[in-house]
Amino acid sequence: MTVPAHVREEDERLARERKKLARDGSKLKGARLEARLDKSWARPPGIIGWISTVDHKEIGRRYIVTALIFLALGGALALAMRMQLARPDSALIGAARYNELFTMHGTTMMFLFAVPVMQGVALYVLPLMLGTRNCSFPRLAAFSYFTYLFGGLLLWGAFFLNIGPDVGWFAYTPLSGPEYSPGKRADIWAQMVTFTEVAALAVAVVIVCTILKQRAPGMTLARMPLFAWAMLVTGIMIIFSMPSVALASAMLISDRLVGTHFFNHFEHGDALLWQHLFWFFGHPEVYIIFLPATGFVSVIVEAFCRRPVFAYPVVVLALVATGILAFGLWVHHMFTTGLPRVGYSFYTAASMTVAIPTGLQIFCWLATMWDGRPRLEVPMLYVIGFIVTFVIGGLTGVMIASVPLDLQLHDTYFIVAHFHYVLIGGAVFPLLGAIVYWYPKITGRMMNPTLGKIQFWMIFLGFQLAFFPMHLSGLLGMPRRVYTYPAGLGLELPNLLSTLGSLVVGAAVVLFVVNGLVSLFRGAIAPDDPWKAPSLEWATRSPPPPYNFAHIPVAESRTPLWDQPDGLPVVTGLRVDEKELLVTTVVAAAPDMREPVPHASPWPFIAAVAVAIVFIATIFSPWALAMGIVPAAIALAAWFWPKEIKREPEPVIT
């Protein structure tokens, strides 16, 4: 026997104590249960409690609010650029400042807004939708938020100190290399990438593990809400694509700081290596932003048409197919760099193929609307706005997948129009719909629907006015990323229209913020399930208590709240005086384990600070890496180290 006698005695004593522990069940339910759960799930108060929280809802909310602030900042830069471009030969903003503006705009929107906001919504909504009490690895989620925040502060702090990056959001070498970008601007860009990739990868792991292991009993993969499928594919895509840009940015900074030659042509490096590594991440990135949005659309269409999404398996397979195909497209960003013939053919074919699964999804949504009874409330309006706008953007995408046309249109405003149609139409419209949709769950109040409708029409029409003319200015040959254009080329009218449209969009965004803030205090009180929707997040209170569900719900169908005539089925037996959740099997979601939930801890925050110091200091000296490892390692060790070395009847994570 390998276990000593005193340990065996201790085992037996703990087993006896285990029998006395309080658990939820038919004897312990209702208000009495909730009062005890409130106590065991509460986080410490004050600022220490604020940085220590491990509640997925608090972290998700922070992610969403922070990302929306970055959206507003990025949007303000866009308006500044549109002001400059309103008239030809304008001297409002100089060339150098303009370079900074479009770099900051693209970088902010891609790295600090689009990906984090989708992950933030997923962090908030998914555990509720899956019927669990917290996300997996909540301390990792907390760490990731602070890492993301510090990355954003680095970029914007640098911008305000007038050392913001000015090399484009893709930072092509050799422009971003040591020869052509002396100073620290490009290094700040590269380290901002490191911060945001670490954060995004951490959340991706959290999301994938939550989806695979923490679904409500009975929620087999085939019964999972489509938003969960979309986030599962997105999470896996992040895991496979983001290491590439993290590696690339590390190579760039080492070329700049310690004299390696990865991208230096004169020492047999290659600038195109940068483009390959960047776009191997950069193209999947587009789908990492788009697929969560398709998840929003599926959820909203289902709820507002009172019908399960048409052809669920087709939508799931389309999501998976898009996720796989997205990794075979990156070279279409590089058609003008000169490629082998077969490369042109392959990447053109792949780029056109990806339209097929996306088209299938759109037909499934249309069929759902056709067969259901659509209620044209605000979230549904955004879905319709999405379909119209995204289809236009998708069609121009198929056009520029063709090499001869791309060679002509590359780096013109036609491309700018295309990707704003797919990114704003494809991701921001569904996101705004999703915010209106889940706002009552998050805040406990409804957003004002009249303001919401006015705001929708303003942003939808303003968007078309801003971006449709860019197709024309692009076809007329207007290049991107140039701070002005001469008069007399026919570019005046489309540019003026674009600027007017952007002002309408800006006003609509202000209205959205006003609606969001005012409704927080004045909005109608939201019931648990204001939209009569089918998924589990609507089974709990609005806003949900810290433990989400007093008893873990069971899913007996794809639309559990629509198919439960005799009450919501629940399982019981989880601990009441400690935080605990249920782990289920990957495919069948059969109950597998009870899992302790980590207590609140300041160490993820401290670890994020230590890591931030390393990342920022390595902009200036490679030795920072060697020295910075020590505090970071100590912080991580303290994160894992139990606060009390004492065996408990059942494991707790302190």
Partner 1 sequence: MNRPLRFTDDLADLPTHRFGPSSLTWWGVVAFMVIEGVAFAMAIAAYFFLMGHEQGWPPEGRQPPALLAGTLFTILMLLSEIPNSMVKRAAHERNVAAIRVLMPILILIGIVLFVIRGFEFNSLNCRWTDDAYSSIIWALLLLHTAHILTDWIDTLVLWLLMRTELGYEGRKLVDTDENALYWRFVWLTWLPIYLLIYWVPRL
Q: Which is nearer to partner 1, 492 or 648 (CB)?
A: 648
Task: Please pick, from the candidates 67, 190, 246, 319, the single residue that binds partner 1 as defined by CB under 8 A.
Answer: 246
Q: Which is nearer to partner 1, 67 or 141 (CB)?
A: 141
Binding to partner 1 in span 357-386, by CB under 8 A: none
Asked if 324 touches partner 1 (CB under 8 A), the answer is: no
Separation CA 168–CA 252 (nearest Å): 14
Asked if 240 touches partner 1 (CB under 8 A), the answer is: yes
Separation CA 522–CA 652 (nearest Å): 41
Asked if 623 touches partner 1 (CB under 8 A), the answer is: no
Residue 583: beta bridge partners?
Answer: 593
Tokens of 242: 């983001």
Question: In sequence order, what DSSP letters do the residues of 83-117 get, joined into one string?
Answer: HHHTSTT--SS-HHHHHHHHHHHHHIIIIIIIHHH
Site string for partner 1, 254-293 (x = CB under 8 A): x---xxxxx-x--xxxx--x--xx--x-------------
List, in order, residues 6 or more apart from 610 with CB less than 8 Å away: 628, 631, 632, 634, 635
Asked if 23 touches partner 1 (CB under 8 A), the answer is: yes
Tokens of 453: 């409708």
Task: Please pick, from the candidates 15, 457, 629, 643, the single residue that binds partner 1 as defined by CB under 8 A.
Answer: 629
Q: Which is nearer to partner 1, 335 or 538 (CB)?
A: 538
At closest approach, how far in Å is the CB of 209 from partner 1?
5
Asked if 328 touches partner 1 (CB under 8 A), the answer is: no
Region from 178-186, 373-381, 425-433, 583-591 binding partner 1, contact rule CB under 8 A:
583-591
Region from 41-49, 182-190, 205-213, 443-451 binding partner 1, contact rule CB under 8 A:
205-213
Tokens of 375: 């209620």
Task: Please pick, from the candidates 51, 78, 85, 208, the single residue that binds partner 1 as defined by CB under 8 A.
Answer: 208
Q: Which is nearer to partner 1, 382 or 549 (CB)?
A: 549
Q: Which is nearer to partner 1, 16 or 481 (CB)?
A: 16
Question: In sequence order, what DSSP letters do the residues of 323-387 get, joined into one string?
Answer: HHHGGG-GGGGGGGG---HHHHHHHHHHHHHTHHHHHHHHHHHHHHHHHS-----HHHHHHHHHH
Q: Which is nearer to partner 1, 38 or 371 (CB)?
A: 38
At closest approach, how far in Å is the CB of 261 from partner 1?
5
Asked if 40 touches partner 1 (CB under 8 A), the answer is: no
Separation CA 443–CA 492 (nearest Å): 45
Q: Which is nearer to partner 1, 274 or 365 (CB)?
A: 274
Separation CA 462–CA 511 (nearest Å): 13
Binding to partner 1 in span 98-137, by CB under 8 A: 136-137
At closest approach, how far in Å is the CB of 527 from partner 1?
8
Q: Site for partner 1 (CB under 8 A): how many residues?
A: 86
Q: Which is nearer to partner 1, 90 or 564 (CB)?
A: 564
Q: Which is nearer to partner 1, 492 or 528 (CB)?
A: 528
Q: Which is nearer to partner 1, 269 or 282 (CB)?
A: 269
Task: Please pick, from the candidates 586, 620, 621, 627, the single residue that binds partner 1 as defined by CB under 8 A.
Answer: 586
Place of tokens 């059942």: 650
Separation CA 578–CA 39 (nearest Å): 9
Q: Which is nearer to partner 1, 131 or 426 (CB)?
A: 131
Asked if 492 touches partner 1 (CB under 8 A), the answer is: no
Q: Which is nearer to partner 1, 100 or 578 (CB)?
A: 578
Tokens of 454: 């006015």
Cβ(56)–Cβ(144) below 8 Å:
no
Site string for partner 1, 139-178 (x = CB under 8 A): -x--------------------------------------
Binding to partner 1 in span 592-611, by CB under 8 A: 592-596
Separation CA 536–CA 395 (nearest Å): 36
Q: Which is nearer to partner 1, 257 or 475 (CB)?
A: 257
Binding to partner 1 in span 51-90, by CB under 8 A: none
Helix (H, G, I), strand (E, B) or coil at 594: strand
Closest Cα to residue 57, out of 150, 109, 155, 128? 128
Separation CA 188–CA 192 (nearest Å): 6
Using the CB atoms, write b or e for 248-263: b if 16+ within 10 Å: bbbbbbbbbbeebebb
Task: Work out whether the CA dihedral 209, 210, 213, 218 comes out positive or negative.
Answer: negative
Binding to partner 1 in span 174-203, by CB under 8 A: 201
**What radius of gyration do the chain's Cα atoms show?**
26
Separation CA 509–CA 75 (nearest Å): 9
Task: Please pick, from the candidates 375, 532, 643, 647, the single residue that binds partner 1 as defined by CB under 8 A.
Answer: 647
Q: Which is nearer to partner 1, 492 or 592 (CB)?
A: 592
Separation CA 408–CA 479 (nearest Å): 11
Task: Work out whether the CA dihedral 203, 207, 210, 213 comes out positive or negative.
Answer: negative
Q: What are phi and psi of 179, to 5 degrees?
A: -75, -40
Asked if 43 touches partner 1 (CB under 8 A), the answer is: no
Region from 39-47, 50-58, 412-420, 588-596 binding partner 1, contact rule CB under 8 A:
588-596
Binding to partner 1 in span 522-561, by CB under 8 A: 528, 539-541, 549-552, 554
Asked if 646 touches partner 1 (CB under 8 A), the answer is: yes
Binding to partner 1 in span 555-574, by CB under 8 A: 564, 566-574
Closest Cα to residue 301, out of 387, 222, 392? 387
- Residue 417: what residue type? A
Asked if 3 touches partner 1 (CB under 8 A), the answer is: yes
Closest Cα to residue 120, out of 57, 71, 183, 175? 57
At closest approach, how far in Å is the CB of 259 from partner 1?
4
